[in-house]
Amino acid sequence: MAKAGFIGLGQMGKPMSRNLMKGGYDLKVYDLSQDAMQDIVKNGAEAAANAREAAVGADVVFTMLPTGAIVEQSVFGPCGIAEGMSMDAVFVDMSTILPEETRSIGRRLAEQGIAMVDAPVGRTSAHAIGGTVTFMVGGDSADVARITPYLECMGQMITHCGPLGAGAVVKLVNNYISAVTNVVTAEGLAYGLAAGVSEDTMVEVISQTPAGLGHITTTWPAKALIDDPAPAFQLDLARKDIGLALTAAAAAKAPMATGAVAREIYNIASAKGHGREDWSTGIFRTVKYLAKGKTDG
Ligand code: NAD
């Protein structure tokens, strides 16, 4: 039977490791917390005294830990994973950490002949319990193929995003968009409430528009994603509408801090000649240009 090591048995790691066992894998586990260990050992996992021991004899070693520094310590620290792993095993970090931290750990492991895959996780602990988390995976195709049956026990929608670190990049992009949209949604609804409109009414309307549905599946496919500037909705009109919202919100003393920054991006886009283009294409062209660090053009 294939063997796995699993380090980090918290909110996510505990149910995920349980699902791995249910999938038929022999599991050796390690966590700083004895309580966390006991639970999963009761379910049939073998307790390790440290990360190195959890890695000995495993075909795949997983970490699900809070930070990059802790993952690094767990791999390269005393009694760490790197001391215990065999050369033909694969190390899989599923924690949310910086892409550069991932690549640095991967480079050091490669010097010892050990392969690494990053597989950060989407969704929440409820999905970890149900075995329905998603995985954004980075690494060599052969390594990714090798660990996929393990991931399939813990989740669904396994996306190979590119080389090592690409999973971490996509995870950050996703969480950035999601977290910032959360703030903008709060700003919009708080202004509407202050202006006397009910939450239910706003939710009814916004649930049917790009504001509620998200741009990536509504406005972007026909415009920004194929770089088509022909306007379905002109950038300068969207710029005007942000201005109207900021003016009305200021009168109601409702904060629109994120909107104020967004208007500056619209101003830059307009000043650079994108004002008559489609709002999605014009904004994407502008921000891609800025992201390359160019100062003119
Ligand atoms: P958690 O704090 O519940 O669990 C972390 C576990 O790691 C704890 O049991 C802790 O005792 C253990 N630990 C800490 N240092 C250790 C070490 N040196 N050796 C062994 N064990 C150690 O965190 P979590 O919610 O399970 O999150 C884990 C990772 O998954 C994080 O990077 C988080 O950002 C990411 N994530 C969390 C969620 C979520 O909904 N909770 C969703 C997606 C991704």
Q: Is 10 in the pocket of ligand 1 (CB under 6 A)?
A: yes
Q: Is 41 in the pocket of ligand 1 (CB under 6 A)?
A: no
Q: Whose CA is nearest to atom 20 of ligand 1?
A: 31
Q: What is the pLDDT of residues 56-68, one digit of tens each?
A: 999 999 999 999 9
Assign 269 to helix, strand or coil.
helix
Q: Is 189 in the pocket of ligand 1 (CB under 6 A)?
A: no
Q: What is the pLDDT of residues 213-244, one digit of tens each?
A: 999 999 999 999 999 999 999 999 999 999 99
Q: Can 240 be counted among the known catalytic residues?
A: no
Distances (CA, A) of 255 to 93, 192, 194, 196, 199: 39, 11, 11, 16, 17
pTM: 0.93
- Segment 150-159 shows an average pLDDT of 97
Q: DSSP assignment, residue 66?
A: S
| Residue 296 scores a pLDDT above 80 | no
| Residue 297 scores a pLDDT above 90 | no
- Segment 249-275 shows an average pLDDT of 98
**What average pLDDT is seen over the chain?**
96
Assign 156 to helix, strand or coil.
strand
Between the CA of 140 and the centroid of ligand 1 the distance, in Å, is 25
Q: Structure tokens of 156?
A: 């669904």
Q: DSSP assignment, residue 4?
A: E
Single-letter code of the amino acid located at 195: A
Single-letter code of the amino acid located at 293: G
Q: Is 125 in the pocket of ligand 1 (CB under 6 A)?
A: yes
Q: How confident is the model at residue 294 (pLDDT cuts 50, 70, 90)?
A: low
